Each structure stands twice: as C-alpha cells, then as structure tokens.
Structure 1
Amino acid sequence: MSSFLNKAGTAVEAGEGVWPVRRRRILDWLVNETRGERFIDNILVEMCEKLLASGVPVARATLHFRMNHPQWIGARILWKEGLAEAKINTFAYGIENTPEFLKSPVNAIHQGAEEVRKQLEDTADDEDSFYQELRDDGLTEYIAWPVEHTFGKRHVATFSTSRPGGFTNEHVDFLRDLLPALTLVSEIRLKNIIARTLLQTYVGPHASEQILSGVTTRGSGATVGAAIMICDLRDFTEISDLWPRDDVIHLLNDYFDAMSDPIERYGGEILKFMGDGLLAIFPLSKDTACHDLLQAIREGQALMAQLNQQYAGNGREPLRYGVGVHVGDVMYGNIGSRRRLDFTVIGPAVNVASRLETLTKEVKRPVLLSRAFVEMADCAKDMDSLGTFPLRGLGEPVDVFAFPER
C-alpha cells in the first residue's frame, strides 16, 4: 500500500484519510498562498493542475462572472487539460436573451439551481448542442455550481472530466469542498477588476492607473506636456428641446462614438464628457502625439460624415460640431472639494483649445488649430492659415489654422 507525508510529516496510508489531506493542501494554498496572484484566471489554471496532481481527474473547468462593464455583461474563463493559460471570452449584452443561453446550465444556476450535473456518456433523448460539444471533446461528466459573492451576486463554476464513468462521489465531494475558498479568492479578484473597469470607464485608462496607485488627494498630480483637443456639438440646445428624450440620448451616443473611438484608437485619453462636448489629451511623452491627434480628428470627421448620411436618409438635419486644438503644459491631477474630486487637466493651454473651439462658430470652420500646434506637428503647409485672432480672456492674439476645405 502506498503512502505520503502530511503537513505534520506523518505518513498517511492511501485509503486512510488520503482525500481529506489532499483537499486540505489545496484549500491552504487557495487561502494562504495566492495573495501575490492578481488574476483569477492564473489561479484557476494552477488550481486545476493541483487537482490533477491530487488525483481528481478534471479535464475542463470554467468560471463565469457577471461584470459591471459598459460593453460586456459577463466573461468566461476556460481551462482545459494541457493548456498553460486559460482562455477568457467576454459576452455582450443581449446574450442573456438568446435561446442558447436560456437553456444553458449557467442560466439554470442564475435562476436558482444549486447544482447542474450531467452524465455525458448517456446520449438518450439529448439534443443539446452544448452537451454534444462536450462529448465531442471526449468529456464524460459535467457539473456546475453557484459561486455566491456578497450581496447576492451569483456567479458559476463548472468542472468536467473525461474519466470513464465520470467523477466518483469522492471527486465531487473534493471539488464541492473547494467552493467556499474559491468563492473568497475569486470575489477579491473580481472586485479588483470591477474597480479598475469602472475607473477606466469613467475617468480613462491613465487617470484610473494614477488613482489606483494612490494619487487620490486634492491637488495631487503633475505637469505634463500634451496636445489638447476640445470638441463640442452645435445646436444641441435646440435639438434637446425639440427631439424626444430617447432620441437625444441616442444622438449623443452616436456622436460620441464617432469622435471618441478614433481618439482612443490613436492613444488619446478622453478625460471627460461635458454635456455635448469632450476634452481629450495626447501626452507629448509619445513622439507621434500631434500626428495621432490629427489622424483621430480626420477619422472622426469621416465617421461623422457617415453618420450624417444616415441622418439625411431619415430626413434629419446633419450634425455640426467644432474642434479646438492646442499644445502646451497642463496640470494633470485632482481638482475639487474635500470630498468630491475630478481627475482632469487645467491651465492656459486648455483655455486656448477651448477658445479655439468657440471660434469655430464665428469663422465657420469645424476644426481650428493654434500655430503652436501646427509648428510642433510640422503640418502648417497642409493647413489653411486664417490669420490672427484675439481670444477672450487671453492676453496675446493667436495665429489660427484650419483643415483645408474640400
């Protein structure tokens, strides 16, 4: 009869307390030795490898999490035997209403089931494509359990095996006993992800990293060089007075999609949406910042042209906008009251961009750029020089350039 040593160094004979000792080892690891691991997908992979080493024949495991994300309702982390890394899939809103999801074991758990267990070797009267996919992968049994986080947040863990006959009762008890520790470990990581996602959603990726790293006191921040872009929608007050509320919200989202997606794609950071306007910066720490800003504007204009074609087809007036662009040093950090802060940029350079955006109404050109910007971008030869303009609140007039008219 084989034996191994437990943590106290005592020999334990196989069949005499083997499973409790092995289970305890994994529980201890989950609770005490995963503190340094930030990502739950890595923990899932290592846990499954430890399960295999302990004699639990897991061939597939998943974690399904509901998320607070503007694009995704949830994510699935998938591990299969032989994979060094887990695969992560995200799912858009609306999937919860599809026939495939409604009849899935994950939905059954969300609807209150405490366990879904399926013997895959029995194919009688079973046409479910999900289970057939598992069979095609050589799996013989599937089990899903709820992972109960605080405040009634229910997620899902699943385990499958390719062992003939499926899991034994000892295997199932082993896995079930890990759930409380897995719940604790996964909730901590998920809350970290949610906090990071919410910050990125509402203040942008760079500002969120600053906040998470501890830049949370009023006045904290730094002076940075940046190309600055301020964009504003024209005639929005009239539109909001005349259009139904839902149509106005839909219009704003279309407009912000068109202008924002290129900004983010070219490395800009949108610091805030201000009603029908936005403020974005392209830090000069990147050599191509000014070029990237120009490309973002050009692509935004092209997307706005496509949007206006759709609006014209629906009998609506085209959307007009103004963009002001400048470059300079800005104070980048926390501004506000003692209890309510805004992570943003302020300074004379921001004021110039704002005044240029306002000037677009007067000169009837949608994009205006300062001489300082076009010289740094080395693009004066590609722009129309409109002359020198006094800008409200600024001491010196500013040489103003515009995109060429087509």
Structure 2
Amino acid sequence: MSSFLSKAGTAVEAGEGVWPVRRRRILDWLVNETRGERFIDNILVEMCEKLLASGVPVARATLHFRMNHPQWIGARILWKEGLAEAKINTFAYGIENTPEFLKSPVNAIHQGAEEVRKQLEDTADDEDSFYQELRDDGLTEYIAWPVEHTFGKRHVATFSTSRPGGFTNEHVDFLRDLLPALTLVSEIRLKNIMARTLLQTYVGPHASEQILSGVTTRGSGATVGAAIMICDLRDFTEISDLWPRDDVIHLLNDYFDAMSDPIERYGGEILKFMGDGLLAIFPLSKDTACHDLLQAIREGQALMAQLNQQYAGSGREPLRYGVGVHVGDVMYGNIGSRRRLDFTVIGPAVNVASRLETLTKEVKRPVLLSRAFVEMADCAKDMDSLGTFPLRGLGEPVDVFAFPER
C-alpha cells in the first residue's frame, strides 16, 4: 500500500488522515506493548507523552479509581506536563460525603454522567474552587469521562489542556477513542493491585507475597525461625454478653489497633486474628527480630494504657490482656482442607507461646516470655524471673520471665 509524508513528517497510508494514523499507533501501543508494565501510573505517564508527541496538547491527566481497601475509598493518579512520574493520592472513607466531592466532576461521572466538559477560559458565574485551581495552573479546558470496568465498576479519566481555545474536536475524538483500550489495561492493573491489597489485608504482607508467587497447595510452605507473640483479651466473653454489639466491635477494633500497629511498625507479621486474640511472628532472618518484638509490646502497652484512660473517663472498666512470647522453628505455610486453606504457622514453638499467654491469668502478669526468648534477646537482666512452670501438653517445664512491674 502506497504512502506519503504529511506536513508533520509522519508517514500516512493512502486514504487515511494524520490523526487516525497517530491514534492507531497509540492504541496499538496500549494494547500490545504495555504487557510488561505492572503499574498503571507508569502507563499513564508514557501515554500522555505519546499524546503530546502526536500533537494532542494534553497538559494534565488523571485517573480516579475506587478501591477495595480497609483505609482508602479511592486513589487519584495525577500527571502534569513536565513530570517524569505521576503523583498518587489516596482518599479516606468519608470524602464521598464532603461538599467538595459532591459537587465535583468526578462525582458527576459516578452518578451517571457520560461526560463533563468545562471551558475554563469562561469564568462567568463560576465560583467553583476546583475549576479555579485549574485556571490558576494555566489550563483552558477540562474533560472527564467514565472508565467502565466489569461488573458495573465505574472509574474516571480526565484530560486538560492549556491550549488557547481548549481542545479541538479532533483532539477530543482522539482522546475519546483511546478510552476502550485504556479501560482494558487499567482494569488488569487495578485487579492486580486489588488482589495484592486484599491478600495483604487478610493474611499479611509476607504471606500475601508467598501466595501470589504460587505457594497455594495444601502443605506447601517452609520451616522458619521466628519470635512468636500470642495476645489475648481478658473477660471478652463477659463483655460480649453485657455490651451492645456495636460497642463490642468498637472495643475490639480499638484493642487491635493498639496492639497491632506497633507490631507492623517494627516488622512483625500478624498472621491471624482469633476472636479477641492475635498471632504474630517476627522472622529471625532479621537480626533485630527479638528486640523489635519487645519494642512492639512496650509500645502496645503504652497505647493500651492511653486507651484505658479514655475508657475510665467514660466510666468503663480497663481492658486487660495477656501476651505469651517464645522463639523457635515453626512450619510456615498452607494448612486446611482441600478447598479451604489457612496460611499460618504451627509447631511446638507456637504451642509454648500459647501456653505462656494462658499462664498470664494464673501469675497475674500481662506479658510472659520463655527463657529461650530472653536469652536470644539478651534481655534476662531487664526481666523478672518468675521460676519454672509446667505447661499443659508440654513435656518439659519452662523457665518463665516477665516484664518488671512498675
């Protein structure tokens, strides 16, 4: 098929104009050449650079995605001309009820609008702060369109220009024709992110990486050395019987926040919540694992003390808890039925930590540690030695230590 050079120097097939050829090239790139790119923000940056090179005067572009995340309702990926990397902002639950969001073009798209188009050079009767920010950035036109993913999931793409007079009709057609391909590549990346986020939410960061890498068969896993921490709330049965349901849930969330945040901050991994208890490990592959676990407990105790002060102010009884700590080898992997698996740790070392947690009820000390742990942590001199105790189901008695009483 013959071809000729356009005035812009682009090879154009006979019978086609410049814009269709340029558009097809970007479409081909989106569909066929982005397979090796994991992240949609990088794809957005490269797409906008290709748009500029093709003569579409995009100066700003965003993608707005709803998310399945315990903290964030959504995220915005923002590119501006001249940026080598996009900026990513997350938004907490509740923003969807703010006046700013309710009158935003993004909300209009979520409510069913098929297009929001705003000429920014026309300032008559327009006091919207969002559009004024765009004007202050020198932009002349803004367009938002829905990005329709499967099962009715609606997200948003926006494009803005600083070209005097805004986009031409050819520019708008060019951008609109990219949406189906952008929808496909964004949905794949978003589902990858959501799968990773959901796994991290429910099984923790390390276990989620193991599962995503293919450790999904029953019995698969490895033996690892770990410092083990088991924590349990006291008198929870009585609280559940006497308190309203919503208050019980709120109490549990407060308690888990206080104990869990330090664990994660110091590199521990919470493998499961068990009613009013939790199981966490600090892998010994990190030299400071035992020290990190102790710091996590101390900070957790401080946060629990603050929480109990708040409860005392409202006339509630303080929350009590027990923590058992041990160290040793554990089997870390998949356990369960043929169709339902749990990624967790098992082994004698876990049993010792569990029995120590139970022993806290008897000795009336909230944190108990085994000799094996305090020796590895080199902290025996900083602990109270409580003596040797037989632990149910275990052959040998265990030397038990506790945090000093204040």
Q: TM-score, normalised by structure 2?
A: 0.98
Deviations 1:347-366 (A, max 9, x none): 00000000000000000000
How far 1:12 moved relative to its partner?
2.2
How far 1:220 moved relative to its partner?
0.1
CA distance in 1, matches of 2:6, 2:201: 48
CA distance in 2, matches of 1:81, 1:301: 49
Deviations 1:59-100 (A, max 9, x none): 000000000000000000000000000000000000000000
Flag the 1:252–1:13 CA change in 2: closer, same or farther, 3 A.
same
Deviations 1:15-47 (A, max 9, x none): 951000000000000000000000000000000
Deviations 1:159-187 (A, max 9, x none): 00000000000000000000000000000
Flag the 1:309–1:241 CA change in 2: closer, same or farther, 3 A.
same
C-alpha contact 1:322 1:357 (8 A) present in aligned 2? yes
1:344 corresponding residue in structure 2 = 344
1:200 corresponding residue in structure 2 = 200
How far 1:383 moved relative to its partner?
0.1
CA distance in 2, matches of 1:298, 1:266: 11
C-alpha contact 1:224 1:331 (8 A) present in aligned 2? yes
C-alpha contact 2:216 2:334 (8 A) present in aligned 1? yes
Flag the 1:59–1:3 CA change in 2: closer, same or farther, 3 A.
farther
Deviations 1:103-132 (A, max 9, x none): 000000000000000000000010000000
2:232 corresponding residue in structure 1 = 232
CA distance in 1, matches of 2:37, 2:255: 40
Flag the 1:304–1:11 CA change in 2: closer, same or farther, 3 A.
closer
Q: Provide the secondary structure at the position in 1 that maps to 2:353.
A: helix
Flag the 1:12–1:304 CA change in 2: closer, same or farther, 3 A.
same
CA distance in 2, matches of 1:399, 1:6: 85
C-alpha contact 2:323 2:367 (8 A) present in aligned 1? yes
How far 1:53 moved relative to its partner?
0.2
Alignment of 1:42-53 (within 5 A): 42-53=42-53
Flag the 1:299–1:178 CA change in 2: closer, same or farther, 3 A.
same
Flag the 1:327–1:311 CA change in 2: closer, same or farther, 3 A.
same
Flag the 1:233–1:6 CA change in 2: closer, same or farther, 3 A.
farther
Deviations 1:173-207 (A, max 9, x none): 00000000000000000000000000000000000
Flag the 1:4–1:158 CA change in 2: closer, same or farther, 3 A.
farther
CA distance in 2, matches of 1:13, 1:201: 52
C-alpha contact 2:117 2:141 (8 A) present in aligned 1? yes
C-alpha contact 2:76 2:88 (8 A) present in aligned 1? yes
C-alpha contact 1:6 1:21 (8 A) present in aligned 2? no
CA distance in 2, matches of 1:72, 1:15: 50
C-alpha contact 1:332 1:346 (8 A) present in aligned 2? yes
CA distance in 2, matches of 1:289, 1:354: 19
Q: Does 1:56 align with 2:68?
A: no
How far 1:324 moved relative to its partner?
0.1
Task: Return structure 1 stretches of 4+ with deviation > 2 angstroms.
Answer: 1-16
Residue correspondences, number = 406
CA distance in 2, matches of 1:4, 1:330: 70
Instruction: Give identity over the alignment, percent.
Output: 99
Q: Provide the secondary structure at the position in 2 that maps to 1:271.
A: strand
Q: Provide the secondary structure at the position in 2 that maps to 1:399.
A: strand
Q: TM-score, normalised by structure 1?
A: 0.98
C-alpha contact 2:6 2:18 (8 A) present in aligned 1? no
Deviations 1:253-293 (A, max 9, x none): 00000000000000000000000000000000000000000
CA distance in 1, matches of 2:176, 2:31: 16
CA distance in 1, matches of 2:244, 2:327: 38
CA distance in 2, matches of 1:329, 1:5: 70
Flag the 1:15–1:76 CA change in 2: closer, same or farther, 3 A.
farther
Flag the 1:402–1:302 CA change in 2: closer, same or farther, 3 A.
same
C-alpha contact 2:311 2:317 (8 A) present in aligned 1? yes
Q: Provide the secondary structure at the position in 2 that maps to 1:343.
A: strand
CA distance in 2, matches of 1:39, 1:26: 18
Flag the 1:397–1:159 CA change in 2: closer, same or farther, 3 A.
same
C-alpha contact 1:370 1:399 (8 A) present in aligned 2? yes
Q: Provide the secondary structure at the position in 1 that maps to 2:55.
A: coil
Flag the 1:8–1:224 CA change in 2: closer, same or farther, 3 A.
farther
How far 1:11 moved relative to its partner?
3.8
CA distance in 1, matches of 2:194, 2:40: 13
Unaligned runs of 5+ in 1: none
Flag the 1:243–1:164 CA change in 2: closer, same or farther, 3 A.
same
CA distance in 2, matches of 1:270, 1:7: 63
CA distance in 2, matches of 1:98, 1:37: 35
CA distance in 2, matches of 1:266, 1:249: 26
C-alpha contact 1:327 1:349 (8 A) present in aligned 2? yes
Unaligned runs of 5+ in 2: none
C-alpha contact 1:330 1:350 (8 A) present in aligned 2? yes
How far 1:13 moved relative to its partner?
8.3
Q: Provide the secondary structure at the position in 2 that maps to 1:16.
A: coil
How far 1:211 moved relative to its partner?
0.1
Flag the 1:374–1:162 CA change in 2: closer, same or farther, 3 A.
same
Deviations 1:386-405 (A, max 9, x none): 00000000000000000000
Flag the 1:48–1:240 CA change in 2: closer, same or farther, 3 A.
same
CA distance in 2, matches of 1:388, 1:131: 71
C-alpha contact 2:228 2:327 (8 A) present in aligned 1? yes
C-alpha contact 2:115 2:146 (8 A) present in aligned 1? yes
C-alpha contact 1:118 1:141 (8 A) present in aligned 2? yes
CA distance in 1, matches of 2:84, 2:402: 53
C-alpha contact 2:10 2:18 (8 A) present in aligned 1? no
